[in-house]
Structure 1
Amino acid sequence: MRLRHRDGTLVHLAYCANVHPADDFPGVLDRLHRYAIPVRRRLGVPRLSVGLWLPRPVAATLVADPGALDKLRAALAAGGLEVVTLNGFPYAGFGKDVVKTDVYLPDWGDPDRLAYTLDLATVLAALLPDDVARGSVSTLPLGWAPWWDGERHDRARRHLDALSAGLADLERRTGRTIRVGLEPEPGCVVETTADAARLLTGVDTSRVGVCLDTCHLAVEFEEPGEALARLDAAGLPVVKTQASAALHASDPSAARRELETFAEPRYLHQTRAHTAEGVHRVDDLPDALAGGLPADGPWRVHFHLPLHADPPAPLAGTRADLRAALDVLLGGPAARTDHVEVETYTWTVLPGGRPDLADGIAAELDWTRAELVRLGLIEEDA
């Protein structure tokens, strides 16, 4: 969906297709027909933005085979779909029974991550609608912190420089601007916006910036206004915003039984506690439930919740933080991001069973659209 900010910026609202991952090209086309087109129809809009997730083999196929790329473009056009952003965080295997820390491999110390990201940028340059100024690719925040060292960091910085050079060459060849946003995430090398400001100093900010995930921001108890001020001071653009909400327990002891239902084996659910001493961290929700966190302050869990619905009491979500972030990003006189992507990839592991996926995605997009309209944006496809 397209909305216009008061400053004239065209803002795209999409949903991330990693919620229904596919491991091969036929699977990608199948998911568009099974989910994306029904979502568009439920919303009653003539055009829907989809943030595709293309695993490494699919990205390589599309770069090498112009016929496959033409087939994807035709499928998007026929379905009333457009692509302005790609999720390049998971490399492959996001639909496996157990993902956990595998999602951080390969990291930015590995040349395979650079090659994959440049392939995604090449594909996106070919998919961008003619009237869209630029595209975005989100990627992991360097790597998983426990695996990081100085040598890997030096390689990663060289790879980011090579990324900028590759994106500049792509723009010269195609006339399309593609930017890449590193996505701060709990437990990673770039965990917070403060880490981004410190560790991404010196990157080419015309092509590399931050993908701001509002669930991650909330899990780390970052206040959105302060977080954006840090990024502004560092000169880091918000290339893309992932609209998402975290799980919140004001009283973890009283909510223990409900929290246990969210401890599932597929994805990593980093958990944080906020006390008078500061923020305490463990790598997964079962670690917190086993005594890894103090229970005398609220907990927040990296579990992406549907944006339009509340979890069972006494649990809550962090929609207030999401609203505050959208307000800072798009409620002022100037738009500070132009790509907003709903990224609730956890529908299939929600406790209580899985609802109709197209209905759920459409409800989330409708909620987010209403929030953007509340901020004064005008829907262009209405």
Structure 2
Amino acid sequence: MDIKGFHLSYCSNIHPGESWDATFRNLKIYIPEVRNRLQEKGSFGIGLRLSNEASLILEKPEKLKKFQDWLKKENAYVFTMNGFPYGDFHRQIVKEKVHFPDWTTLDRRDYTLRCFRILDQLLPEGMEGGISTSPISYRYWFKAETELSTAMEKATVHLLEVVEELVNIRKETGKVLHLDIEPEPDGVLENSDEMIWLFTEWLLPKGKPWLAEKLSISEQEAEILIKTHIQVCYDVCHFAIVYEEPAAVIAKFSAKGIRIGKIQISAALKVIIPETANGKFSLGKKLQAFAESTYLHQVVARTIGGTLISYPDLPQALDKLPDSKEQEWRVHFHVPVFMEHYGTFSSTQEAISIVLKEILSNPALTKHLEVETYTWEVLPEETKLSLGESISRELSWVIGEMEK
């Protein structure tokens, strides 16, 4: 949907199913329903999630043509894709496997390139397209600095090979496509400083001479191409979990010439820690409902003095709760964006409002907005709605915030 010049949709990773048939079936069910609920008459944008399995099918010309015909019939378009989860993402244990295969592998590179070739065929003329992706890898897979350095060497080469392909696509079709890297807790990249580190220590020093030689251009031109085709996926939930303020993050990226390809509109669970033993016991009992086994729910705690303490998953944080001296927890659990409170808990919804104000005051920051709440199946029962109603309420709330 076009809202004040921004493309707004929801990420279809909310729908279970890894095959293309399952993905297409869900789109055919929910896109018309959500459009009707929102009474949207204009073109309807889609944030498409393709598994590796689905991408292998959709790249076939006959399948792609059938999907293009459906998009035309429904007055819908694809402007962004989620290329982070490579494989199964629902109804099984995902946890840190969401990062596998990571950017050290040819599998991740080739899957991403395949998705870009599909997006190039789907993207309307005159529109930029982006694909969000993993923050390189899962940091706890690397036990030593030398292991991480070797991983970064491999990942950098693969990212630069994607840039080279996107430059070629632009030459052939005129379409500007960008890979939007998504920092998240316990990724190799989990905050703004680490995202900047990727550019200043790896992509630019390694990439400028490499790309300049490959394309017979200057290193200055190579830097422009790298920053055009590799951007940031600003997941509001993820940056809120690590207590980063939106205006400061945006200013840091702007100062380094790093662009934001997509805003993923999402909210984390926010919890104030009681001081008493009884209060902590009661809190722990309530939080057990969120300690489910499908996804990682990293916790970043903040003490009264402002020190941050990280836990790789909610159960580990709960083990420490009885003796905790912490003041606040932020939990990597994508709660519905339209709900500010969940009983005694709250969310980081305010960060979304701040981000939306930032981009409305500076529309050049990005044009792509995608609601990403994928945890409906594992939410506590009292927070659940029907899926169509849930998606519609999320988008409706965002539209309301943008039209204030």
Q: Is the 8 A contact 2:51 2:86 kept in 1?
A: yes
- Structure 1 residues 73-115: Cα deviation after superposition (integer angstroms, max 9, x where no partner): 1122223321100000000111241111110001111111111
Distance in structure 2 (CA, Å) of the matches to 1:37 and 1:2: 16
Q: Is the 8 A contact 2:17 2:90 kept in 1?
A: yes
Normalised by the length of structure 2, the TM-score is: 0.87
Matched, 1:134 2:162: no
Aligned twin of 1:85:
80
Aligned twin of 1:225:
247
Identify the match of residue 363 of structure 1 among 393, 398, 401: 393
Q: Is the 8 A contact 1:37 1:80 kept in 2?
A: no
Distance in structure 1 (CA, Å) of the matches to 2:128 and 2:30: 25
Distance in structure 1 (CA, Å) of the matches to 2:23 and 2:293: 25
| CA spacing shift, 1:295–1:34, aligned 2, 3 Å | farther
- Structure 1 residues 93-142: Cα deviation after superposition (integer angstroms, max 9, x where no partner): 11241111110001111111111111111111111123x42101000111
Aligned twin of 1:257:
285
Q: Which moved more, 1:165-174 or 1:281-290?
A: 165-174
Amino acid across the alignment from 1:192: N
Identify the match of residue 378 of structure 2 among 349, 354, 372: 349
Aligned twin of 2:95:
100
Distance in structure 2 (CA, Å) of the matches to 1:212 and 1:312: 24
Matched, 1:307 2:337: yes
Which secondary structure does the structure 2 equivalent of 1:205 belong to? Answer: helix
Aligned twin of 2:268:
246
User: Which is higher, the Rg of structure 1 or of structure 2?
Assistant: 2
| CA spacing shift, 1:295–1:127, aligned 2, 3 Å | farther
Q: Is the 8 A contact 2:44 2:76 kept in 1?
A: yes
Amino acid across the alignment from 1:301: V
- Structure 1 residues 271-310: Cα deviation after superposition (integer angstroms, max 9, x where no partner): 0101115110011111100117834310000001111124
Aligned twin of 1:120:
115
> Number of paired residues?
366
Amino acid across the alignment from 1:234: K
- Structure 1 residues 49-91: Cα deviation after superposition (integer angstroms, max 9, x where no partner): 111111112212222x111001111122223321100000000
Amino acid across the alignment from 1:44: Q
Aligned twin of 2:328:
298
Aligned twin of 1:54:
50
Q: Which moved more, 1:153-162 or 1:257-266?
A: 257-266
Identify the match of residue 321 of structure 1 among 334, 351, 358: 351
| Cα-Cα RMSD | 1.6
- Structure 1 residues 196-223: Cα deviation after superposition (integer angstroms, max 9, x where no partner): 0112221610110100000001110111
Matched, 1:32 2:27: yes
- Structure 1 residues 315-344: Cα deviation after superposition (integer angstroms, max 9, x where no partner): 00111111112222x132443111000000
Which secondary structure does the structure 2 equivalent of 1:181 belong to? Answer: strand
Identity %: 34
Superposed counterparts of 1:137-148, under 5 Å: 137-148=131-142
Distance in structure 2 (CA, Å) of the matches to 1:331 and 1:321: 14
Q: Is the 8 A contact 1:258 1:312 kept in 2?
A: no
Aligned twin of 2:160:
161
Identify the match of residue 205 of structure 1 among 214, 221, 227: 227
Aligned twin of 1:378:
none
Matched, 1:373 2:403: yes
| CA spacing shift, 1:295–1:20, aligned 2, 3 Å | farther
Amino acid across the alignment from 2:56: A
Amino acid across the alignment from 2:54: V
Q: Is the 8 A contact 2:270 2:346 kept in 1?
A: yes
Deviation at 1:195, TM superposition (A): 0.7
Aligned twin of 2:194:
195
Distance in structure 2 (CA, Å) of the matches to 1:232 and 1:24: 39
- Structure 1 residues 245-265: Cα deviation after superposition (integer angstroms, max 9, x where no partner): 000001262532221211111
Q: Is the 8 A contact 1:37 1:81 kept in 2?
A: no
Q: Is the 8 A contact 2:79 2:127 kept in 1?
A: no
Q: Which moved more, 1:137-146 or 1:345-354?
A: 345-354
Q: Which moved more, 1:339-348 or 1:41-50?
A: 41-50
Normalised by the length of structure 1, the TM-score is: 0.92
Distance in structure 1 (CA, Å) of the matches to 2:324 and 2:247: 27
Which secondary structure does the structure 2 equivalent of 1:95 belong to? Answer: coil
Q: Which runs of 5+ in 1 are unaligned?
A: 5-9, 375-382
Q: Is the 8 A contact 1:51 1:85 kept in 2?
A: yes
Amino acid across the alignment from 1:272: V
Amino acid across the alignment from 1:256: G
Aligned twin of 2:296:
268
Q: Is the 8 A contact 2:272 2:329 kept in 1?
A: yes
Q: Is the 8 A contact 2:192 2:249 kept in 1?
A: yes
Aligned twin of 2:182:
183
Distance in structure 2 (CA, Å) of the matches to 1:251 and 1:171: 51
Task: Considering Cα pairs closer than 8 Å and 6+ residues apart, tell me whether 1 or 2 has the greater RCO.
Answer: 1
Q: Is the 8 A contact 1:273 1:295 kept in 2?
A: no
Q: Is the 8 A contact 1:114 1:159 kept in 2?
A: yes
Q: Which moved more, 1:195-204 or 1:176-185?
A: 195-204
Distance in structure 2 (CA, Å) of the matches to 1:18 and 1:227: 26
Amino acid across the alignment from 1:172: K
Q: Which has the higher helix share?
A: 2
Aligned twin of 1:67:
62
Which secondary structure does the structure 1 equivalent of 2:183 belong to? Answer: coil
Q: Which runs of 5+ in 2 are unaligned?
A: 143-147, 208-225, 275-279
